[in-house]
Amino acid sequence: MTRPGLARPIVIKMDRGIGEDIIRSNMRTLGIDRAEFERLPAIVRKH
């Protein structure tokens, strides 16, 4: 995922076994909350 202002793309794994530390780090980097983060896989699958 890319977003204006980010230094690098963020990789969002589709696996449910992602560690909580990775999830929180990605949420902080993207500046989003948990609900928005959990919607990302559905958005990606539509593309």
Domain ranges of the chain: 17-47
Whole-number percent of the chain with pLDDT over 70: 91
Q: What is the mean pLDDT of residues 4-18?
A: 78
Is the pLDDT score of 35 beyond 90?
A: yes
Q: Helix (H, G, I), strand (E, B), or coil: what is residue 31?
A: coil
Residue 37 to residue 7: CA distance in whole angstroms:
19
Torsion angle of the four alpha carbons 40, 36, 39, 10, in this order, in degrees rounded to the nearest 10:
10
Q: Helix (H, G, I), strand (E, B), or coil: what is residue 47?
A: coil
- The model carries a pTM of 0.67
Q: Helix (H, G, I), strand (E, B), or coil: what is residue 18?
A: coil
Q: Which two tokens stand for residue 33?
A: 């909350």
* pLDDT higher at 23 or 44: 23
